Amino acid sequence: MITIKDIAKKANVSEGTVDRVIHNRGGVSKKTASKIKEILEYHNFSVNPVASALASKNKHFIATLIPTYNDADLFWKYPYLGILKGAKDVQNFGVKVNNFTYNQYDTSSYLNSFYDLLETKPTAVIMVPNFSKETKYIVQKLEKLNIPYLFLNIDIDGFKNMAYVGQNSYMAGYIAGKLMNLSVPRPATFLIIQLRNNITKNKAVSNRIKGFNDYLKKNKINSKTKNLKFESLNNSKETKVIINTYLKKYPEIEGLFVTSSRIHSVVDCINTPYLEKLELIGFDITPQNIACLKNDAVSFLISQKPFEQGYEAVRLMADYLISKKEMSNNKVFLPIDIITKENVDYNERNQTVFEKVNNKNNL
């Protein structure tokens, strides 16, 4: 590979002159600069991004805005770990990542965390747009300040986000419909449980439901679906009464599709006689969901690859900031993994390894 020293020799100039042309620092005549650029182009010379970032002393600050995780809902722990891994990988490129979190059920927490984020004067923002109205306000602020942003995990139409990084939610729901039909290969009734219907217009959830129903419709499967909506599952006693009353009222229900990562909470609410006759499908391999999978309470889990979502979002944004190249595809879909109790221990290895290392370093 040709080096700066080689180029300087070919152009009969100093290495410093070549370096100034590469990094557009000026102080070089147009004729000499043109000659050096011709040599660079001829040899398809590419600058080491680490050296480029360090040489120009440009520091980029990516701010991330994601929901806080807790023991009851561990899903957001994994995008966070992916962000941490991405941050470590890009720090030598002159990119620093600062993380801000908010209560996913509280709009004021969402906005307050955003205000804290703005005070750090970020170069770019990676955000989970959990509330439509508040997201519109946040995006207007970012666009006014010319701060590029991308959406993570939740995709909302009508915005100028550089990219969306996450799952193809429609296809995930379509696959869930196929898995349910394979589990119950006869005309039946399936119950779809949807959470937080009134808090946010979560396109991912609606797309999963549409994909699930479209699989049955397009394949002319004579099965029906019913919908049961909850604002949250925090009140387990109330939820338990509602679910079991519903299952008693509709004994023809043979399958249950939970459109979020909280399928373990649903399992905990279902009485054993109903649970034994149901096929359950949900999302994400949180520890609680894995336990349900291994004890046969859940038939399948569909992974959103949350660790990879966080990691890819950081890498994409860092590449954009360093190279200044527009993203060729603004929909970055992660693989859709079907998880069973037989293969669950072999999935998300990168996530598991990084989590162990991170926990060890934080001891």
pLDDT digits (tens, 9 = 90+) for 261-291: 899 999 999 999 999 999 999 999 999 999 9
Lowest mean pLDDT among 36-45, 125-134, 178-187, 217-226: 36-45
pLDDT at 199: 43
Q: Which of 93-107, 225-239, 346-360 has the highest mean pLDDT?
A: 93-107
Lowest mean pLDDT among 24-33, 290-299, 351-360: 351-360
Q: To the nearest whole percent, how much of the chain has pLDDT over 90?
A: 62
3-state secondary structure the chain: CCCHHHHHHHHCCCHHHHHHHHCCCCCCCHHHHHHHHHHHHHCCCCCCHHHHHHHHCCCEEEEEEEECCCCCCCCCHHHHHHHHHHHHHHHHHCEEEEEEEECCCCHHHHHHHHHHHHHCCCCEEEECCCCHHHHHHHHHHHHHCCCCEEEECCCCCCCCCCCEEECCHHHHHHHHHHHHHHHCCCCCEEEEEEECCCCCCCHHHHHHHHHHHHHHHHCCCCCEEEEEEECCCCCHHHHHHHHHHHHHHCCCEEEEEECCCCHHHHHHHCCHHHHHHCEEEEECCCHHHHHHHHCCCCCEEEECCHHHHHHHHHHHHHHHHHHCCCCCCCEEECCCEEECCCCHHHCCHHHHHHHHHHHHHCC
Q: What is the pLDDT of residues 200-234, one digit of tens each?
A: 456 788 899 999 999 999 999 999 999 999 877 77
User: Region 179-192: what's the mean pLDDT?
Assistant: 96
Work out the pLDDT band at 17, boundaries 50, 70, 90: confident
Q: What is the pLDDT of residues 306-340, one digit of tens each?
A: 999 999 999 999 999 988 767 667 899 999 999 99
pLDDT at 352: 60
Whole-model pTM? Answer: 0.78
271: tokens are 């009485």
Answer for the pair 145, 117: CB distance below 8 angstroms, yes or no: no
pLDDT > 60? residue 198: no
Q: What is the pLDDT of residues 67-83, one digit of tens each?
A: 999 887 789 999 999 99
pLDDT at 200: 47
Alpha-carbon distance of 233 to 200, in angstroms, equals 16
User: Region 174-198: what's the mean pLDDT?
Assistant: 90
Work out the pLDDT band at 350, boundaries 50, 70, 90: low
User: Region 294-309: what's the mean pLDDT?
Assistant: 96
User: Which has more pLDDT, 145 or 360?
Assistant: 145
142: tokens are 């970012």
User: Which has more pLDDT, 124 or 24?
Assistant: 124
pLDDT at 24: 76
pLDDT at 37: 87
pLDDT at 359: 60
pLDDT > 50? residue 55: no
pLDDT at 363: 37
How confident is the prediction for the chain on average, in pLDDT?
88
Lowest mean pLDDT among 19-28, 68-77, 346-355: 346-355
Alpha-carbon distance of 266 to 288, in angstroms, equals 11
Work out the pLDDT band at 360, boundaries 50, 70, 90: low
User: Region 244-265: what's the mean pLDDT?
Assistant: 95
pLDDT > 60? residue 161: yes
What's the full length of the chain, in residues?
363
pLDDT at 86: 94
Alpha-carbon distance of 318 to 34, in angstroms, equals 29
pLDDT > 60? residue 246: yes
